[in-house]
Amino acid sequence: MKKSYALFIAAALAALTMFGCASGPTTSAGGVPKFEVDPWWPKALPEGWITGRVGAVCSDSHDHIIITNRRDITKEEEETSKQAPSVIIFDLAGNMVDAWDGDWDKVPGVIHGCYADKDNNIWTTGNGDGVIQKYSHDGKLLMQIGKRGVFDTSDGTAKGKRLNASQTGFFNPAGLVIDPDNGDIYVADGYGNRRVAVFDRNGKFLRQWGRQATKEETERGDPGVFSQVVHCIAMSNAGLVYVCDRQGDRMQVFDKMGKFQRNIWIRTGTKELPDPRGTAWWIDFSRDKEQKYMYLMNGRNEQVHILDHASGKILSSFGRPGHQLGNFTHGHTLTVDSKGNLYVAETDWGRRIQKFKLVE
């Protein structure tokens, strides 16, 4: 029976590969990276645990893969299972090495993004709240900017007129990145606001840029304005800030002071802008010093794009809508480990994390 089962699994994986479900594109003559889904990663969670929507994935300097769990399992699932913690940490082999909730009444509402800084502290944002938080690797709350349940609006509620201006809080921030040189905090603020807000390492407000774009500005790709959701933010080794203008179907690149550098277009969505769902959802870079490649999660097309970092050209893509291995259902965020492997978090109905191995 064991031999038959092994043969069945091998045949199933071979079939998935044949139909483009289990692996990405082959390496081209130009050396574009090739990825294959790892069907055995991660390993099983503790007995009874189940995740809800997986909001984000990020990686630290020890190659721990960190996911945020929105803890919203269904009533039916509650009959046989229990909520997994808010933050779950795996090693490269897929073993769970830690998990913690913090204080569930205090973690950001609708956990969205995560980021591990150079000291391996874990930062979180929530697109249902007005805060960002910094935790130690083992789950101790170290810092919070903003007050949970208070939004940057005319009346402090989520229904008030957004102000896009607070120096002490946010309106549904989506992501953040920490400057490794000085600890400054760059926040994609995000779902209610339309700005990048910058704070020093102690939480003091420094500056901001960005506002709501008009339809005409979106269509032209005007700098420093955002169509709808400012969905991700990342910093390159060169110290440039990359911001996802999701429904604008582009990455906007700035220097640290907010001076516009260029657009990187991801025009695989609707013919006209703004694109209702948008294509530019999340990015990370290859781990070589020059960061030759940029990886982008396109949640509209349910694909990961491999871009030439210098030119912004899409070199290849993998993934498709679906529920099988290597498919994506609401592919949301991604990260890269030091070996070059990719990890994609699926939220909403996908509710899982997938690993794609770099094929040498």
Ordered by where they begin, the domains of the chain are 2-359 (2.120.10.30)
Averaged pLDDT, 99-123:
90
Residue 142's pLDDT is what?
96
Task: Report which of residues 360 and 150 the model is more confident about.
Answer: 150
Whether the CB-CB separation of 21 and 322 falls below 8 Å is answered with yes
pLDDT tens for each residue of 35-83? 999 999 999 999 999 999 999 999 999 999 999 999 999 999 999 999 9
Whether pLDDT at 12 is above 90: no
Closest CA to 89 of 127, 118, 111, 122: 122
pLDDT tens for each residue of 149-190? 999 999 999 999 999 999 999 999 999 999 999 999 999 999
Residue 107's pLDDT is what?
87
Entry pTM:
0.91
Residue 104's pLDDT is what?
63
Averaged pLDDT, 277-299:
97
Whether pLDDT at 140 is above 80: yes
Residue 30 pLDDT grade (very low, low, confident, very high; cuts 50, 70, 90): low
pLDDT tens for each residue of 191-245? 999 999 999 999 999 999 999 999 999 999 999 999 999 999 999 999 999 999 9
- As beta bridge partners, residue 208 has 197
